[in-house]
Amino acid sequence: MVLTRRELLTGLGAAAGLASAGPVWSSLALGEMRVDTLSDGHLTLPVDLTFGALPSQDVAPIIAKHGLSDETLTPECNLTLLRHGDHVVLFDAGAGPDFQPSAGKLDAALDALGLAPEDITDVVITHGHPDHIWGLLDDFDEPLFSNAEYYIGTKERDYWLADDTVDTIGAERQSFAIGAKRRLEAIADRMTPIKDGENILPGVTALASFGHTPGHMAFAVNQGSETLLVVGDAIGNHHLAFDHPDWPSSADQDPETGIATRLRLFDQISAEKMRLIGFHLPGGLGRAEKHGAGYIFVPEEI
């Protein structure tokens, strides 16, 4: 198979991005809105966390095409910051200091923009995994974003706050459940549960995108004729998810529902020619271009 220059650059995007990443990846104007893509660092994960459900003969071509390691993956962590009127909205809170030492770098990104945690007015949560919400609390277990209101899907909130989640989630994810419950309980009095299709803030609409977690939410940011989709981990990487959106990922708690969600989001993104920001996509911001039975992620730097 001969790769085009675009395909080659896309495949090398993750490795190159980690070498050159600054705290702010991109800044985009949507009418009166400004959207910044912020680096929270990166993770180091075993390959099986993504590819474990697939036979090795299917995995090898994907790893070769995208220049990935066959032992570990190092996905970037990208937070989205929206400024619109009086609102300074952060989508997800990052990993904080307690998950992996290579992540939890949000403070540098905020500082680069002249912002501090207390300037955040709203925190919008896609889902309850550690790299997305363990940054909610400071070193004293107090809410880091002290002036913010918090938004999370009703189903997602209920799942992580349920007493039996720690016993049903599986041994390898028990620490996720314990950590999520502690953090969500700490912001419970300022947390608004949200549902599919709800306009939660001016220009921001919640979209159910279940599968990666039971109540995962994506968010459409609308201004005039333009829509930007903040997909969280519903489209969780630039390789497997794009090349074969109809294949299961071991990173999803419900792989079959995750497949249905990816296919629906890709249909919407491509049909409406939307930009998207993915939490683990190289640089975060880009577009999805149809390519055969799958898609190609085309990063966009602005």
Average pLDDT over residues 33-57: 96
Strand order in the sheet with 122-125: 24-30, 33-42, 76-84, 87-91, 122-125, 149-153, 191-194
Average pLDDT value over all residues in the chain: 92
pLDDT at 142: 96
Please tell me the pTM assigned to this model: 0.91
Alpha-carbon distance of 183 to 98, in angstroms, equals 12
Query: Taking 90 as the threshold, does the pLDDT of residue 10 lie above it?
Result: no
pLDDT-above-90 percentage for the chain: 89
Alpha-carbon distance of 218 to 234, in angstroms, equals 7
On whether the 5-299 domain is CATH 3.40.50.150, my answer is no
Query: Taking 50 as the threshold, does the pLDDT of residue 290 lie above it?
Result: yes
* Residue 119 confidence class, pLDDT cut points 50, 70, 90: very high
pLDDT at 225: 87
Instruction: Give me the residue spans of the domains in the chain.
Output: 5-299
Query: Taking 60 as the threshold, does the pLDDT of residue 148 lie above it?
Result: yes
54-99 confidence digits (pLDDT tens): 999 999 999 999 999 999 999 999 999 999 999 999 999 999 999 9
